[in-house]
A = this chain, B = another copy of it.
C-alpha cells in the first residue's frame, strides 16, 4: 500500500485540463501497489486510476509498460487501458514525476487463494501470454537469472545479518542455477509479478490483472513458475501441490506447456524464488521510514528457496508440477 506523492486539488485540475474527461467528482489516494502512488479518480467521463510513478520504476521503461497495457486491452485481455490526453499522450508528468491515467477495473484480489482461484489465475496468465503475442515493445528482464549473482555479491552482508551462514548457501544455489538454467524455452512477454494482489476476481472467476511494471521478455514457463511460488505456498511454508496442479491445469486450458517447459518448472521455480529473495533482501533495510510502506520479509522467500533446493534431483521435484489426475 502506498501513497508517496500528495496531489492537491489545484494540481489535479491543472493535470486534467489536458484531457477530455470532464471535471473531477472524486479523488482519493488508494492503498494499492507497493511501488507507485495510486489514486481513485472519478470524473464526468467515468472512473479511473491515476498512477504517479515513484522510485523503482524507470521512466524510460514506462512507454513499454503503458504500450503493453494498451496492447493487452486491445487484444481481449482485461488490463486497464491507459487514457490518452487530447494530444494522444498516455505518459504525462505530475509534480515532476511520470504519471498516467488508466481505466478503473472492478474485481477483488484474494488473500489466501483456494484451488479454484489458482485454476482461474493460471488460465488468466495463459490468456495474458497469448494476448501479448506480437507486442512490438522490447524489454529484457533486468531481474532475470543473469542478474542474480551480481546483485547478490553486494548483499552478502545483508544475508548473513538475516541468518548466519546463509550467504554460502545462496552462493551454492546461484552456482547450481547458473549451470543448470534451462535454455531454448519459448520466450514471450511475461508479467513477472503475477502475485495474488495483482489479480482480480469477480464471483470467483478471473476478472483482470494489474501492475505490469515488471513486465519484460523472458521464458513463459518462468512466469508460470514465479506465479506458482506466489500462489501455491501455504502460510506454514509447505508447497500446496493440489493448488499448483490446478494452476498449471488452468494455464493449459489456454496454452499447453511443451514437455521441455514442464520439465523445467522445478528449476525455474527455484530460480524465481531466488529472484524474489534477492530483491526483498535488497529492499529490507533500504526502505525509508517515511515511505508509508512495510518492506516484505525476505525470509519468506528464503524458505521457498529451501523447499525448491531440497526438491531438486529427486522425483519429488517433478512430482510437484505433475498434471492433475
Provide the A14-51 mask, 1 if CB < 8 A to any CB of B, else 0.
00000000011111111110000000101000000000
Task: Give the CA-CA distance A12 to B108 in the complex, in Å.
Answer: 10
The contact string, 1 if C-beta is below 8 Å from chain B, for chain A 256-294, is 000000000000000000000000000000000110101
Q: How far is the CB of A65 from chain B (nearest CB, A)?
A: 21
Query: Does A3 lie at the interface of the complex (its beta carbon under 8 Å from any beta carbon of B)?
Result: yes
- A86-104: CB near B (< 8 Å → 1, else 0) gives 0000000000000000001
Interface flag for A184 (CB, 8 Å): no
Q: Decide if B29 touches A30 in the complex (CB within 8 Å).
A: yes
Chain B residues with Cβ below 8 Å from A106 are 25-26, 42
Interface flag for A174 (CB, 8 Å): no
Q: How distant is the Cα of A25 from the Cα of B110 in the complex, in angstroms?
A: 12
Q: A203 interface residue, CB < 8 Å from B?
A: yes
How many interface residues does A have (CB within 8 Å)? 32
Q: In the complex the two chains form, is A40's CB within 8 Å of B40's CB?
A: yes
Within 8 A of B (CB), among A108-137: 108-112
Contact A9 B108 (CB under 8 A): yes
> What is the bound-complex CA distance between A30 and B40, given in angstroms?
9
**A110-B9 contact, Cβ under 8 Å, with A3-B1, A290-B294:** yes
Q: Determine if A163 is an interface residue (Cβ-Cβ < 8 Å).
A: no
- What CA separation (Å) do A106 and B32 show in the bound complex? 20
A residues contacting B by CB (< 8 A) are: 1, 3, 8-10, 12, 23-32, 40, 42, 104, 106-112, 202-203, 289-290, 292, 294
* Interchain Cβ contacts under 8 Å between A and B, 28 examples: A1-B3, A1-B29, A8-B110, A8-B111, A8-B112, A9-B108, A9-B109, A9-B110, A10-B112, A23-B202, A23-B203, A25-B106, A25-B107, A25-B202, A26-B104, A26-B107, A26-B108, A28-B31, A28-B32, A28-B40, A29-B30, A29-B31, A30-B30, A31-B31, A40-B40, A289-B289, A290-B294, A292-B292
